[in-house]
Structure 1
Amino acid sequence: MSQHPPVRNTSHKWRAVLAGGLVLGVGAAVTLAAWNDSEFATGTFTAGTFNLEGSDDGTAYNEHSTLGTADALGFTVAPNNLAPGDTVYAPFSVRLDDQTTKDAVVTVSAEASTGVVTNLTYTLVTTSTNGCNAAAVAAGTSIVAAGAALGSVPGGVTFDLEQGATGSAGEAVNLCFAVSAGSIGQGQSGTATWKFTASSE
């Protein structure tokens, strides 16, 4: 009687391998799902504040933000009684207020003059303190050269202003206007207005 080698049942082995493969597949999916990481970034943006104020005495500062609220300069000699050869002086100071959070560049320009301002010239200088006379002009730093026609400002007249420490106004820039009369006509009268425009740096 011939003997045949026993028939091996390989289907169980395949089932075992397949089952193992399924288990491994499920296990890999669970492992990947366990990795999770997130990053978040946010920014808050708040605008600063910016305000220029002026004073004719270097002590009491106020806003003069429109032509109608322009500060009337206190000329040391009455400018309503000028004669040829006279020069009159007036101080003005500007600074950034105590809420300002940026430095500034100030541009000086002229508003339209009224009346008659012919044969009147001026110079504008910066001074170390608020005060204006011939000595202050001589010692000051010129930003508008003597001889400029009243009612005009040459192009590119600027100066810098720095913000103050938190809660404090910035350091003032003191200005001195000197207006000189040439061959003016008797009884002529006119008004000139300067504008100071501060732009944040």
Structure 2
Amino acid sequence: MATASSQKSRKIKALLAGGLVLGVGTAVTLAAWTDQEWATGTFSAGSFDVEGSTDGTAWASHATSGEAAALAFEVDANNLTPGDKVAEAFALRTAAGTTYDATVDLIAATSAGDNATNLSYEIFTVPAIGDCTADATADSGASVIGTGTSFSPGAPSATEFTLAAGTDAVAGTSTVLCFQVTAGAGLVQGGDATATWGFEATSQQP
């Protein structure tokens, strides 16, 4: 028969054993602490726009052939004879807020009308609008497409050029193109022709 002393000893051992189990359980709970880190990013697209001007002062976008800027060639353009050459300037630049430089290509040069096949053209850059005359030469600037080029439905083989981006508030520096058109020997008397040029600007990725 167990004595009171031995029963008390078993109870203490049981409590101690229970305490050891509880102690192990507490250690596991402490080891399960967690911590988190989060990150976020905001992404905004850049801006890209090219505009043109016939006088270097008034600028606008001419995004389609239906919105083409009208080049006011010299008075003689309304009274051509074979061998006559006329000229007019057209300036291009990146618009304010544009965040990328632009590479520009001549992608179309077409002519329609009675004298559509009796005209040829040349395009080169000049320092300023006033420098584009019938007597100007490609030596005045970089050649975009050479003299005697015929209008055709296909894409012309021209040299691309670059327009620099400006800032949020200021447009980029303009490039002035000089268009020279020459009447051919087969020019039809009283016949008209309308020429259209198209340029495509592509953003340059940094």
Distance in 2 between the 1:59 and 1:137 partners?
24
Q: Is the 8 A contact 1:151 1:192 kept in 2?
A: no
Indicate which of 184, 187, 199 corresponds to 1:196: 199
Local SS of the residue matching 2:136: helix
Deviation at 1:11, TM superposition (A): 5.2
Distance in 1 between the 2:126 and 2:158 partners?
19
Identity of aligned residues (%): 40
Distance in 1 between the 2:61 and 2:112 partners?
23
2:35 is matched with 37
Could you state the TM-score of these two structures normalised by the residue count of structure 2? 0.83
Indicate which of 52, 55, 60 corresponds to 1:54: 52
- Gapped regions of structure 2 (runs ≥ 5): 1-5
Deviation at 1:165, TM superposition (A): 2.2
> Is 1:121 the equivalent of 2:120?
yes
Deviations along 1:169-190, one digit per CA (max 9) or x if unpaired, are: 0111110001111211222211
Could you state the TM-score of these two structures normalised by the residue count of structure 1? 0.84
2:72 is matched with 74
Deviation at 1:16, TM superposition (A): 5.3
Deviations along 1:71-107, one digit per CA (max 9) or x if unpaired, are: 1112134312111111100000011111212221122
Deviation at 1:37, TM superposition (A): 1.7
Distance in 2 between the 1:69 and 1:111 partners?
15
Q: Is the 8 A contact 2:103 2:203 kept in 1?
A: yes
Q: Is the 8 A contact 1:55 1:93 kept in 2?
A: yes
What letter matches 1:166 in structure 2? Answer: D
Local SS of the residue matching 1:113: strand
What letter matches 1:155 in structure 2? Answer: S
Local SS of the residue matching 1:46: coil
- Gapped regions of structure 1 (runs ≥ 5): 1-7
Distance in 1 between the 2:128 and 2:173 partners?
11
What letter matches 2:140 in structure 1? Answer: A
Q: Is the 8 A contact 2:111 2:117 kept in 1?
A: no
2:90 is matched with 92
Distance in 2 between the 1:189 and 1:114 partners?
8
Q: Is the 8 A contact 1:53 1:95 kept in 2?
A: yes
Indicate which of 153, 162, 165 corresponds to 1:163: 165
